[in-house]
Structure 1
Amino acid sequence: MTIALAIVLIAMFGVLGAAKLAAVPAMRDAAAHLGLTVGHYRVLGALEIAAVAGVAIGFVVPVLGIAAACGLVLLMLGAAGFHAVHQDGVLRVVIPLLVAAVAAAYAAALI
């Protein structure tokens, strides 16, 4: 189960983090919609990529995997909050919360 959770997190945040770092048009639009600059979104992308590395390393150094997963939980709670404030609809709020649950499950599996 731990491997499956890690694969999901690595795949999802690898793609999303890279897209934010590259400032692809969809990410530029998302940043503007949420009232963030492209620079802010790039910082979020860098945090996501760092978390990907931490999740991958978590198999060898569990404390780093747990820390990375906890960071992702915090990022996803923030994302859900931003989407709620901008009244983006239920799915835009619930999806980050579900992803936070996946990250929390990964952290719990490493304990």
Structure 2
Amino acid sequence: MFIGYAVVAALLAFALSASAFLTFTRNPQIAGNMTKLGVPDSWLPWLATAKAAGAIGLLAGLAVPALGVAAAIGVTLYMAGGVITHLRAKDYEIAPVTVLTLLAVTALVLRIASA
């Protein structure tokens, strides 16, 4: 189970890191999508910081199981919030955030099972 967690955590951490970088740099596609969803521009640094913290926590969870569980819970809640935000804005292009949500849930289950 630990190897499964390591693989899923690394993939998810990579995706979160890339997304955090694009959000921090206000990539036009990301910023435009956030605007379309009704997310205020002032929230972007906070959202990017949460993504980066989730990525770091998932990787640190390789050494500290409790931290991995906490990070996986946080990322799951963050991504579930993303799904809800898309649905509330009646934007049904939710495949990417849904996949990330499922990866976060998988990381959580694998980290708990391997502890």
Same fold? TM cut 0.5: yes
Higher relative contact order (CA 8 A, sep 6+): 2
8 Å CA contact retained: 1:23, 1:38: no
CA-based RMSD of the aligned residues comes to 1.3
**Given that residues 9 and 107 in structure 2 are in contact (C-alpha distance below 8 angstroms), is that contact kept between their aligned partners in structure 1?**
yes
Instruction: Note the C-alpha offset of 1:94.
Output: 4.3
TM alignment of 1:47-86, pairs within 5 A: 47-86=50-89
Report the TM-score when normalising by structure 2. Answer: 0.86
Give the equivalent residue in structure 1 for 2:6.
3
Counterparts of 1:1-111 in structure 2, within 5 Å, are 1-89=4-92, 92-111=93-112
- Residue 93 (structure 1) shift: 2.9
C-alpha distance in 2 between matches for 1:102 and 1:60: 19
CA–CA distance in structure 2, aligned partners of residues 23 and 42 of structure 1: 9
Gaps of 5+ in 2: none
TM-score, with normalisation over the residues of structure 1?
0.89
Q: Name structure 1 gaps, 5 residues minimum.
A: none
Give per-residue Cα distances to partners, 1:11-44, cap 9 Å, x unaligned. 1100001111111211221121111122212211
Provide the C-alpha distance between the structure 1 equivalents of 2:37 and 2:79, rounded to a whole number of angstroms: 14
Which moves more between the two structures, 96-105 or 61-70? Answer: 96-105
Q: Any idea what the Cα deviations from partners look like across 1:77-111, whole Å, max 9, x if unmatched? A: 1111111111212xx23442332121111122122
